[in-house]
Amino acid sequence: MNINESIDWHRRAKLSIPGGVSSPVRAFQAVGGSPRYFVKGVGSHIFDIDGNEYIDLVNSWGPMILGHAHPAVLEAVQATTKNSFSFGAPNKNEVLLAEEILRRVPSCDRARFVSSGTEAVMTAVRLARAATKRNLIVKFAGCYHGHSDSLLVQAGSGVATLGLPNSPGVTVGQTQDTIVLDYNDFQSVEDIFSQRGSEIAALITEATPANMGVVPPSAGFNRFLADTAHKHGSLLILDEVMTGFRVSAGGWWGKYGPDEGWEADLYTFGKVIGGGFPVAALAGKAKIMDLLAPLGPVYQAGTLSGNPVATAAGLATLVNCTSSTYSQLDDNARDIGGGISDALSLAGVGHSHQTGGNLFSFFFRPSWVSNFSEAKEQNTAAFSVFFNSMLDQGVYLPPSAFEAWFVSSAITKEDVGIILSAATIAAEATATSLGTM
């Protein structure tokens, strides 16, 4: 596979952009080799600058749920851009998108748009502190909620990939009000709320963690978190930046919350609601959300928040995510994940195939992973071998062992067959590297 132009562009990028990338995992440091520079996407396939074609299992880390360049999304974007790209003023598309989000998540009364998941979470934390008049925030190791200072403590995803448990530049003062617990540990949550419940403004969790690889909540864990927080007058912030409107029409909460009998106080959304454009949102009950300016004293603003082009793309994406779309996503995730797991097992490669809705990932260790400490025990070198073999065969995976894999509804049966054929070869290459074949 010729990747000369990608290599040349990355060499050039490193002269003007730190590490040559605008987000760390893209640099391929965790898997070796050179990142691909993509120039086109159609449906389930993407094409790099050298003309190589790949089946996409990253999908821009989730937003391309319908596949690339979906006709309805293209039409909505083109119809909007011909009038202007931005006004910095109210527009109907943001209203329509907010209404669609609230229709899908009836536990929310209001939504406020921002431009990134980091900004959504940062604002939700500020709002929780204002609503409760408390300072402490409880989070879980391995859950990534963006790179705002107070939450960049024992985060997963790119931080784990680069081996940085905390980031320089984040001061003790900025993190002293953040308490970090092990995920899926009921007792530690009970203990900290028993000890300091009256000081805790909010507990924040990913609906299903997907930034240390996919580590689903234990049975009853999310309800336990909601009940415990509310018992002590604290709020539950449910980070659905990845899962929101991807695992179901109502996100993770919509799929599981009503049946399990719990709801959050604040939700953060991103990825899918922008359809590939930079849009995120926080949402919740009116009594909390209306503390935001201009109604209340909690300040938040953004020049491009609610951008008409971005919200048009997000609305078109959501409208076209039908019940059949979600069935297709579930089928694709099951067939691809299960088939790859079978290939690894046949080759004698120890692994754990883990799912959270239609998000999934593989830990190259033989036992189940339930928290960040266990996730870090996997064989990342084995993942690198598997990743590069799949890449050479035209299947693009997340370039990190600590990331979720994302399918689109555009993936075909033919695509699945190609992926699984590649996985057989990649599994054998991985087994050889481990000395098991």
Distance CA 119, CA 269 (A): 11
Residues 6+ apart with CB under 8 A from 294: none
Query: How many domains does the chain contain in total?
Result: 2
Q: Say yes or no: 295 and 361 in one domain.
A: no
Distance CA 226, CA 239 (A): 13
How far apart CA 29 and CA 236 sit, in angstroms, is: 35
Mean pLDDT of the chain: 94
Do 261 and 398 reside in the same domain of the chain?
A: no
Chain-centroid distance, C-alpha 132: 28
We report the CATH number of the domain holding residue 198 as 3.40.640.10
What pLDDT score does 437 carry?
61
Last residue of a domain, one of 269, 292, 319: 319
When pLDDT is cut at 50, 70 and 90, the band that residue 378 belongs to is: very high
pTM, to two decimals: 0.94
| Burial per residue of 53-91, b for 16 or more beta-carbon CB atoms within 10 angstroms, e otherwise | ebbbbbbbbbbbbbbbebeebeebbeebeeeeeeeeeeb
pLDDT of residue 319: 97
> What is the model's pLDDT at position 363?
98
Residues 187 and 336 in one domain: no
pLDDT in tens, 140-193: 999 989 887 677 665 544 444 333 335 677 777 777 888 899 999 999 999 999
Q: What pLDDT, in 10s, does the model give residues 83-92?
A: 999 999 999 9
pLDDT value of residue 158 = 47
pLDDT at 161: 39
Q: What's the CATH number where 417 sits? A: 3.90.1150.10
Same-domain pairing of 84 and 176: yes
Give the per-residue pLDDT at 254.
Answer: 97
234 and 139 both lie in a single domain? yes
Give the model confidence (pLDDT) of 405-430 as tens digits: 999 999 999 999 999 999 999 999 99
Taking 80 as the threshold, does the pLDDT of residue 42 lie above it? yes
Q: Which pLDDT tens digit goes with each residue over 197-245?
A: 999 999 999 999 999 999 999 999 999 999 999 999 999 999 999 999 9
When pLDDT is averaged across residues 350-362 and rounded to a whole number, the result is 98
Strand boundaries in 176-234, DSSP class E? 178-181, 200-206
Residue found by looking up tokens 């527009």 in the block: 91
Least confident range from 151-160, 180-189, 345-354, 359-368: namely 151-160
Percent of the chain with pLDDT over 90: 90
Whether the predicted pLDDT of 131 surpasses 70: yes
For the segment 73-108, what is each residue's pLDDT rounded down to a tens digit? 999 999 999 999 999 999 999 999 999 999 999 999
Q: 């067959």: which residue's tokens?
A: 417
Average pLDDT over residues 267-275: 97
Annotate 95-151 with DSSP letters as a single string. Answer: HHHHHHHHHH-TT-SEEEEESSHHHHHHHHHHHHHHHHT--EEEEETT----S-GGG
pLDDT at 164: 38
Question: Mean pLDDT, to the nearest integer, of 13-29?
Answer: 94
What residue numbers bound the domain in which 414 lies? 4-69+323-434
What is the dihedral angle through the alpha carbons of 203, 209, 215, 220, rounded to the nearest 10 degrees?
40
Shared domain check, 95 and 168: yes
Same domain, 259 and 127: yes
pLDDT recorded at residue 151: 77
Active site residues: 144, 239, 271
CB-CB contact of 284 with 267 (8 Å)? yes
Q: In the prediction, which pLDDT does 165 show?
A: 38
